[in-house]
Amino acid sequence: MSTASGTAALLLDTKPAPDHVRFIICAVSAAVYGVGILALLIAFYNHKYPLLKAKHLPLLTISHIGAIMWNVGFLHASNFLVLPASIDYCALWDVWIQWVLGVMLLSGVLILRLYSLYRVFVQRKSATTKELGVVSAYYYAPIIACAVVFTALPRFGASYNPVARKCKVDPVYHGTAFGFVLIALMGLGWLTYKLRGIRRSFNEFKELRIGFFLVLLVFSVNALLVMTRLSQSLLSRYILAALNVLAGNLYFWLTLGRPLYGCLFRRQYYLNKFL
Q: What is the mean pLDDT of residues 91-105?
A: 92
* DSSP 8-state assignment for residue 49: S
Q: Could you tell me if 159 and 168 are in contact, meaning their C-beta atoms sit under 8 angstroms apart?
A: yes
pTM for the full predicted model: 0.88
pLDDT at 229 over 50: yes
Number of Cβ within a 10 Å radius of residue 94: 26
Helix runs in the chain, H state only: 2-12, 19-45, 50-53, 57-77, 90, 104-117, 129-152, 171-194, 205-227, 234-265, 267-274
Give 12's pLDDT tier (boundaries 50, 70, 90): low
Q: What is the mean pLDDT of residues 107-123?
A: 87
What pLDDT, on the 0 to 100 scale, is given for residue 1? 46
Number of Cβ within a 10 Å radius of residue 142: 12
Q: Could you tell me if 112 and 135 are in contact, meaning their C-beta atoms sit under 8 angstroms apart?
A: yes
Backbone angles phi, psi at 159, to 5 degrees: -135, 155
Q: What is the mean pLDDT of residues 12-39?
A: 89
Cα 224 from chain centre = 17
Q: What DSSP letter does each residue of 56-68 carry, written as one string?
A: -HHHHHHHHHHHH
Chain mean pLDDT for the chain:
85
Architecture of domain 18-274: Up-down Bundle (1.20)
Q: What is the mean pLDDT of residues 14-21?
A: 82
Cα separations in angstroms, 100 against 69, 73, 89, 107, 189: 9, 10, 15, 10, 21
Q: What is the distance between the alpha carbons of residues 146 and 122, in angstroms, rounded to a whole number?
A: 33
Percent of the chain with pLDDT over 90: 39
* pLDDT tens column, 144-159: 999 999 999 988 888 8
Domain boundaries defined on the chain: 18-274
pLDDT at 87 over 60: no
Q: What is the distance between the alpha carbons of residues 56 and 259, in angstroms, rounded to a whole number?
A: 12
Q: What is the mean pLDDT of residues 223-244?
A: 82
Q: Could you tell me if 248 and 35 are in contact, meaning their C-beta atoms sit under 8 angstroms apart?
A: no
* DSSP 8-state assignment for residue 158: E
Give the chain's radius of gyration (CA, Å): 20
The most confident of the ranges 75-89, 126-140, 189-203 is 126-140
